[in-house]
Amino acid sequence: MDTPRNRERFIAGAVCPRCSEMDRIVVSVNGETRRCIACGFSEGRPEDNPLPLPTRVSRPAARRVETTAEVVKLVDPASSGKTEG
């Protein structure tokens, strides 16, 4: 019989990243590891502060480009046929 420290729970709807089988992932009760009972894939819990993913906004080159300001003319569609005066 399993002791409380090594019991595992199934995660409904979870798909294994290796074999793509659904409903074969179990997670340890303390939540530190997950594994697939179909193919043996195993993975520990990710670190709490992972590095941010690089995006087009977070890249240093994207921050160096300065966009010049341009004048914008707002047009009221209700007065498009009327003339001022």
Report the DSSP beta bridge partners of residue 3.
none
pTM: 0.49
Cβ neighbours of residue 66 closer than 8 Å, sequence gap 6 or more: none
Give pLDDT tens digits for 31-67: 889 999 999 999 988 777 777 777 777 766 655 667 7
Taking the C-alpha atoms of residue 62 and residue 57, their distance in angstroms, rounded to an integer, is: 6
Sorted by where each begins, the domain ranges of the chain are 1-44
Phi, psi dihedrals of residue 5, rounded to the nearest 5°: -80, -20
Taking the C-alpha atoms of residue 47 and residue 57, their distance in angstroms, rounded to an integer, is: 24
- Locus of tokens 């409904």: 12
Give pLDDT tens digits for 66-83: 778 899 999 988 876 655
